[in-house]
Structure 1
């Protein structure tokens, strides 16, 4: 139990203000919370599983510089697209009513697509990150299963705070401003990754 609580505390604190927490907030400004949370948790589970399995010895073998470069560029591109597209989306009542009439199948596909996009972004951004390396180090010297549970819960809790922030912003701002704010969050996260990791 001590291993679980230690992993939870260390990973939760390390993730506060991290790029994937910012990414979760950015996604939550643009999409419904449910698919963002599902994708975020799925991505975190994958990363925590990888971390707990590979252990401390393989930590230095990860190409963290290349991964950080790819993640930073990906976040900047997503953010720039969000900012650029803010003025190009039709949010008129007529457009909204046509969106409301879409089929349930399209709605399910869109939900799965958002969840998959969020999960992919989380996995790419977290590979080689400090929380992954902390989890690897903890798993190498403690009960790997307890570390995996604690790390997954800790990183997910931090991500949920990001989603909550994104939803608050989404309720208070108009859709064009939301896209710009979400895009800006991604750009800042991408620059942070590039500066810190390269």
Structure 2
């Protein structure tokens, strides 16, 4: 059993490196408290890997990946637009980010996003494949540990990077990244033949929106400076 746990841990940890779930963990860590993100990842990992181990061991069939991909993309799209709205409509100073959501709301967002992102993902199929020939309990334990470890690594990187970046810029970048994840999820499900080209395609909309936000912010800052000069002269 220990060998199976170690094998599952290694497979899931390596599969998560560079995967969209780890990038999501990094993005969430830039916006929310680290312990909220880690707790959300842990709960989602327990649920998803339990399903994967059960499917692999008892059923040997897969979940409807395309339908799940659409739901996941819609969830990420909503989270991304919500984050951008909060960042752009705040009346706070331009260098300050809007107040983050409560720990409870952030926790629910992380759980929802990670659960949907992992359902039908390659890591879930890997766990199901391992459970088909090994103890499902051992696979479940090892898979959860591997996924949480990979998420924890991403959170650490995010927190280190976040100390050197402006908070409002982090909020805007987070929103754009979620839009990218939404597009990439749909492309991976319905156009797998694109391969790495899907990254470029998924980046088009967030890049255009980001450029628009940058222009809008510069104009808003210029207008604010003109207003301040006018007040001084009068």
Q: TM-score range by the shorter chain?
A: 0.7 to 0.9
Structure 1 residue runs of 4 or more that deviate by more than 4 Å after TM superposition: none
Structure 2 spans left out of the alignment, 5+ residues: 191-234
Task: Give me the whole-angstrom Cα distance separating, in 1, the residues matched to 2:60 and 2:171.
Answer: 37
Q: Which residue of 1 aligns with 2:124?
A: 132
Superposition deviation, residue 61 in structure 1: 4.3
Q: Distance in 1 between matches of 2:154 and 2:178?
A: 12
2:12 is matched with: 11
> Could you tell me whether the CA contact under 8 Å between 1:40 and 1:115 is conserved in 2?
no
Shift of residue 17, structure 1, vs aligned partner? 1.7
- Within a 5 Å distance, the mapping from 1:148-159 to structure 2 comes to 148-159=140-151
Alignment of 1:66-145 (within 5 A): 66-92=67-93, 110-145=102-137
User: 1:25 Cα shift?
Assistant: 1.4
* TM-score between the two structures when normalised by the length of structure 2: 0.72
Aligned match of 1:192: 184
Deviates more, 1:117-126 or 1:56-65: 56-65
- Give the corresponding residue for 2:40: 39
Q: Which residue of 2 aligns with 1:165?
A: 157
Structure 1 gaps, min length 5:
100-106
C-alpha deviations, 1:54-81, integer Å up to 9, x for none?
2256453411101012112321332233
Secondary structure of the equivalent of 2:89?
coil
Instruction: State the structure with bigger RCO (CA 8 A, min sep 6), 1 or 2.
Output: 1
Please state how far the C-alpha of 1:111 moved relative to its aligned partner.
1.6
**Distance in 2 between the 1:34 and 1:152 partners?**
17
TM-score by length of 1: 0.84
Contact 2:62 2:120 in 1 (8 A): no
Cα offsets for 1:117-155 (capped at 9, x unmatched): 211111111111111111111011011111111111111
Structure with bigger gyration radius: 2
Please give the root-mean-square deviation of Cα atoms over the aligned residues, in Å: 2.3
